[in-house]
């Protein structure tokens, strides 16, 4: 190691290695060192080991082997990039903001076709904010919404089938809006869990509990249970105001229902996930004493993987843009980091309800894009994502990390008017102008 350093230094200056010696002494010493046999050094190998090497490692290299699913993305079954496709079959009324589709459920296969449920808003105007919202004018994109469903034979072209769960009459749970559904298949019956708003969205932290409707067929009819399945937390608890994005899986013989809540208040709300379990789809559900079980991620997305459960933490939180894993469905750790993740992903999970002991993973699903239209025509659209988070698919292109996004992807994240004014003033101050 010393001879290599010294010879590289001589390229710049003969005095770089030993400035206290005369030039001829430096040259002679380095020549002798270079000619001597190199000492055996226990350095890190050129080929990245698949298993953690038995040698001293830096904190970064220890983390690489101890925390992640594998030390390289190409070897990891819990790393993927994501690819997106526009869906066919949905009409958005010329993108004028009066029709919105968002928050897709998990995709299931039944009766020879794929099914998905989602939030559907069809109102006279686009969202106008809580101050201008009325019984017919929505305050937000998910206000005055119903739960609709669609079917497909290929996952790319969808046929909308209409309403599954309408808003019930006041004062029943969800009279203001029903949205953000997810599906459970349990003992031959179908259960749709969803958020039931009993006040206009935006008035106080999107206050809503979880409700459920039941059917014998994915095509309905759906019968509401007319009760709160998972209540908000007590005053002062992290989930006191909201139980969002209910997401059921069958795991260890029970129903594991994950949810998101907003805590901390404005202007910096903290989004975290909780877990409630039950032996029956209608409850009672018991909240996990270790809640919250995920410190990052917005809409809940999870799937059985091997002996445990994997989760997609898209945006929000210190561990956003990560894929996480837990052997017990409670204690999650980051298994891989990625980017450009699907938002509100509803994957197709063939073994979501089988109580599998060897979850096979996911390869596709639906997600939403909430920035369709302009500020005046705000609405959301559904799209398809594909990935390789599967034990049965090995797509090397989906393991790449050097994707090279187009400049427009970056320039779309531009400074606000206020930010531009601030940095221009800082530049003027630095120049003394």
Q: What is the pLDDT of residues 143-196, one digit of tens each?
A: 999 999 999 999 999 999 999 999 999 989 899 999 999 999 999 999 999 999
What confidence score (pLDDT) does residue 374 get? 87
Mean pLDDT computed over 77-81: 97
CB atoms within 10 A of CB 270: 15
* 28 has pLDDT over 80: no
Could you tell me the pLDDT band of residue 269, with boundaries at 50, 70 and 90?
Answer: confident
What fold does the segment set 82-396 form as a domain?
A: Tachylectin-2; Chain A (2.115.10)
Task: Pick the range with the lowest mean pLDDT from 23-32, 291-300, 382-391, 393-402.
Answer: 23-32
CA-CA distance, 49 to 404, in Å (whole number)?
27
Residue 38 has pLDDT above 80, yes or no: no
Specify the pLDDT at position 42.
81
* pLDDT at residue number 41: 54
Which pLDDT belongs to residue 203?
77
Residues 382, 365 contacting (CB under 8 angstroms): no
Instruction: For residue 380, give the DSSP letter.
Output: E
- Distance of alpha carbon 261 from alpha carbon 282, whole angstroms: 21
Asked if 310 contacts 337 with a C-beta cutoff of 8 angstroms, the reply is no
Q: CATH 2.115.10.20 in the chain, residues?
A: 82-396
- Largest pairwise CA distance in the chain: 96
> Per-residue pLDDT for 379 more than 60?
yes
Tell me the three state secondary structure of residue 368.
strand
Which backbone phi and psi does 19 adopt, to 5 degrees? -65, -20
Which pLDDT band, with edges at 50, 70 and 90, does 1 fall under? very low
pLDDT at 24 over 70: no
Average pLDDT (366-383) is: 93
Of the given ranges (220-224, 226-230, 288-292, 383-387), which has the lowest mean pLDDT?
A: 226-230
Q: Which of 5-19, 302-316, 344-358 has the lowest mean pLDDT?
A: 5-19
Q: Is the pLDDT of residue 402 over 50?
A: yes
The 10 Å Cβ neighbour count of residue 126 is: 21
Give the pLDDT mean for 274-302: 97
Is the pLDDT at 232 greater than 60, yes or no? yes
CA 35, 41, 43, 48 dihedral sign is positive
- The whole-number average pLDDT for the span 314-340 is 95
Residue 222: name the closest of 180, 162, 276, 269 by CA. Answer: 162
Q: What is the pLDDT of residue 383?
A: 98
Averaged pLDDT for residues 295-300: 95
Mean of the per-residue pLDDT values for the chain?
Answer: 90
Q: Is 359 helix (H, G, I), strand (E, B) or coil?
A: strand
Q: What is the mean pLDDT of residues 300-326?
A: 96
Q: How confident is the model at residue 373 (pLDDT cuts 50, 70, 90)?
A: confident
Mean pLDDT lowest for which of 225-229, 333-337, 378-382?
A: 225-229
Mean pLDDT, range 40-55, rounded to an integer? 88
Q: Which of 335, 358, 362, 338 is nearest to 350 (CA)?
A: 362
Tokens read off for 130:
């809580």
CB 74 within 8 A of CB 396: yes
Q: What local confidence, expressed as pLDDT, does residue 205 receive?
A: 56
265 pLDDT band, cuts 50/70/90, is: confident
DSSP string over 182-217: EEEEETTEEEEEEEEESS-TTSSS--B-EEEEEESS
| Residue 288 confidence (pLDDT) | 98
pLDDT band at 22 (very low <50, low <70, confident <90, very high): very low
Q: Alpha helices of 36-168 — where are they, by DSSP H?
A: 59-66
The mean pLDDT value for 77-104 works out to: 97
Sign of CA dihedral 377, 382, 384, 385: positive
pLDDT over 80 (residue 252): yes
């Amino acid at each position: 190691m010393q001879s290599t350093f010294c010879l590289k230094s001589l390229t710049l200056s003969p005095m770089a290695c030993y400035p206290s010696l005369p030039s001829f002494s430096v040259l002679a010493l380095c020549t002798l060192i270079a000619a001597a046999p190199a000492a055996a050094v226990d350095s890190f190998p050129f080929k990245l080991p698949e298993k953690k090497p038995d040698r001293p490692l830096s904190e970064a290299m220890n983390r690489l082997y101890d925390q992640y699913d594998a030390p390289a993305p190409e070897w990891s079954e819990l790393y993927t990039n994501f690819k997106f496709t526009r869906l066919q079959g949905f009409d958005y009324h010329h993108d004028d903001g009066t029709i919105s589709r968002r928050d897709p459920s998990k995709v299931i296969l039944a009766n020879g076709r794929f099914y998905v449920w989602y939030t559907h808003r069809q109102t006279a105007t686009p969202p106008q904010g809580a101050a201008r919202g009325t019984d017919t004018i929505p305050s937000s994109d998910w206000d005055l919404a119903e739960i609709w469903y669609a079917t497909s034979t290929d996952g790319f072209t969808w046929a909308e089938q209409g309403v599954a769960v309408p808003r019930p009459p006041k004062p029943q749970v969800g009279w203001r809006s029903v949205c953000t559904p997810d599906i459970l298949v349990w003992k031959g019956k179908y259960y749709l869990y969803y958020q039931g708003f009993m006040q206009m969205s935006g008035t106080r932290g999107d206050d809503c509990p979880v409700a459920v409707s039941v059917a014998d067929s994915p095509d309905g009819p759906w019968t509401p249970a007319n009760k709160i399945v998972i209540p908000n937390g007590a005053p002062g608890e992290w989930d006191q105001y909201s139980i969002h994005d209910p997401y059921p899986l069958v795991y260890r013989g029970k129903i594991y229902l994950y949810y998101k809540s907003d805590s901390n208040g404005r202007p910096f709300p903290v989004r975290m996930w909780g877990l409630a379990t039950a032996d029956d789809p209608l409850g009672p559900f018991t909240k996990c004493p270790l809640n919250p079980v995920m410190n990052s991620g917005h809409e809940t997305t999870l799937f059985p993987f091997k002996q445990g459960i994997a989760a997609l933490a898209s945006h929000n939180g210190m561990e956003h843009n990560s894929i996480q894993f837990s052997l017990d469905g409670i204690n999650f750790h980051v298994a891989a980091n990625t980017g450009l993740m699907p938002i509100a992903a509803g994957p197709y999970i063939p073994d979501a309800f089988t109580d599998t002991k060897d979850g096979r993973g996911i390869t596709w699903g639906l997600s939403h894009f909430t920035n369709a239209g302009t500020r005046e025509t705000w609405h959301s659209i559904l799209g398809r994502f594909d990935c390789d988070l599967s034990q049965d698919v090995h797509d090397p292109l989906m393991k790449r990390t050097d994707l090279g996004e187009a400049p427009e992807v970056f320039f779309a994240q531009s400074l606000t008017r206020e930010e531009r004014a601030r940095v221009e003033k800082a530049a003027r101050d630095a120049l003394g102008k």
